[in-house]
Amino acid sequence: MTPRPRVFFVLLLAALALTVPAGALVVENADLTPAEVKLLFAMREYTLTYNAYADRLPGWATGPFANEEINLYVTSPDGVLVIGITFHDRKIVQFDAKGCPDPIVTVTADAATVEEVMVSERPLDTFRAAMRHGTATIEGENLIGTLRTGLVRFGFGVMDLLRL
């Protein structure tokens, strides 16, 4: 799997890379069900790969969220798991299982879509398809977030136009 799709998905789900400046993993508010813990740890593993490639990803994909907080809403039959994701220097440094209080962006996807993207050989394409089919969305929470998600959507549009 190429680094670009891997990174972009993790970014949007939050997309989801976990390297704190001190090099330790931080997971806040971890009072979760077993299924939520399983998903969170799968995302953590996927995020570690993302962080390794984050500096080599295109700026339009990682730059808008370089030092921001986003919320990932993962829907399932059991309810909605809100995962706050904190980025620092284009890498994810923290997950918060209660969400972030003032995110710039909210990404929503069902649990199956999140898992599909993580196991996909082409996660960026899988996430783009989920957005086209309505199983994943990305929404700005304020003016800056709306502008930045517009940049990401524009990037997707260019990729679609160029058939990448």
So what's the pLDDT on residue 49?
74
- Does domain 3-161 fall under CATH 3.30.1050.10? My reply is yes
Query: E strands along 102-141, which residues?
Result: 105-110, 136-140
Question: Going by C-beta distance under 8 Å and a sequence separation of 6 or more, which residues neighbour residue 101?
Answer: none
Taking phi over 0 as left and psi of -120 to 50 as alpha, with beta for the rest, 159 belongs to: alpha
So what's the pLDDT on residue 76?
83
So what's the pLDDT on residue 4?
53
Nearest by Cα to 69 from 141, 150, 159: 141
Query: Which H or E run contains 83?
Result: strand 79-88
* Tens digit of pLDDT at every position of the chain (164 positions): 555 544 444 444 433 333 333 344 445 555 677 777 788 888 888 888 777 777 776 777 777 788 899 999 998 887 888 988 898 988 888 878 788 999 999 999 998 998 888 887 777 778 888 988 999 999 999 999 999 999 888 888 888 888 77
